[in-house]
Amino acid sequence: MLINTFIHIPGIGPATEKKIWQSNILSWKDDKQFSSINLSASKIEDIKKFIKKSNHHLEMNAPQFFESRLPSNQHFRLFPEFRDSCAYLDIETTGLNVYSTITTIALYDGKHIKYFIQGKNLASFPDEIQKYKVLITYNGRSFDIPFIEEYFNIKLTQSQIDLRYILNHLGFKGGLKKCEKAMDIGREELDGVDGYFAVLLWNEYKRNNNQKALETLLAYNIEDVINLESLMIKSYNLNIGKTPFYRSHKIKEPPKPDNPLKADLKTIGSLKGRYY
């Protein structure tokens, strides 16, 4: 999709990009046809120079160049070209105040599911995350990423696709779970478990060494990143449906991977009975 994109070029907005597409200039390779558009010779020359620069950064596998020049609700355009270096990311914490800490982190790259647990392997997360060029989250720009940076005292320099902005632009508003339901993405036995309940699960694990509570928390955390892939592809296809590329660029959604951890219904029922 990036080679069909023009709105990252200075001075070109959505209306002009649409005008370019309607003039049958559908990719950077068609730059010789810009003379057919009612633009000044200097403007056309500037566009061609920027296309050359864009080609260079795409060849260099540098998503930051495009991320910084695209609106947040258009970051879906990064996905096809950088899909092999993307990671779906979600964290769980002890709360939202200044004393809160990270309890678990789930990571999914479309092939492998990885998870990190406070007191076990959480310290290995900063090295692991460096393997990826693009991080895909829901509200990660405001929550997950700043929380991680503060907790580990690091700076995550990867490009970000925050699905909150993309889905909001499509008319899907609310939290992650609400967007999932709007797109018919189910959670089976984890339906109804939320961020507050994740804190209860962690506390139950720490206070009583309840391994079933930890496994349920991890299952919940992992379900988040698995579902992020579905949301990413569904939202990408919905956006592509509004362009001339709705047939050629549509991405087939892969089968949902099995969650390696299972929620314990007895633990869920016990905590709900105690706290709800």
For residue 69, what pLDDT is reported?
Answer: 97
Q: Give the pTM.
A: 0.95
For residue 161, what pLDDT is reported?
Answer: 98
d(CA 204, CA 192): 18
- Tokens matching residue 249: 């660029």
- Tokens matching residue 256: 């949902």
Domain boundaries, the chain: 2-60, 79-275
pLDDT in tens, the chain (276 residues): 999 999 999 999 999 999 999 999 999 999 788 877 878 888 889 999 999 999 999 999 999 999 999 999 999 999 999 999 999 999 999 988 878 999 999 999 999 999 999 999 999 999 999 999 999 999 999 999 999 999 999 999 999 999 999 999 999 999 999 999 999 998 888 988 999 999 999 999 999 999 999 999 999 999 999 999 999 999 999 999 999 999 999 999 999 999 999 999 999 999 999 988
Directed axis angle between helix 265-275 and helix 211-240, to 10°? 100
Query: DSSP states of 196-229 as a string?
Result: HHHHHHHHHHHHH--HHHHHHHHHHHHHHHHHHH
Does this chain's domain 2-60 share its CATH topology with 79-275? no
CATH number for 2-60: choose from 1.10.150, 1.10.3470, 3.40.50, 1.10.10.
1.10.150
For residue 239, what pLDDT is reported?
Answer: 97
d(CA 91, CA 73): 22
Element (H, E) at 55: helix 41-59
d(CA 170, CA 159): 21
For residue 12, what pLDDT is reported?
Answer: 93
Give backbone dihedrals phi and psi of 253, rounded to 5 degrees, phi first.
-75, 125
Instruction: Report yes or no: 142 and 59 within 8 Å, Cβ to Cβ.
Output: no
Q: Which of 42, 34, 79, 114 is nearest to 239 (CA)?
A: 79
- Check if CATH label 3.30.420.10 holds for domain 79-275: yes
Q: State the greatest distance between any 2 C-alpha atoms of the chain, in Å, as a whole number.
A: 73
For residue 43, what pLDDT is reported?
Answer: 86
For residue 98, what pLDDT is reported?
Answer: 74
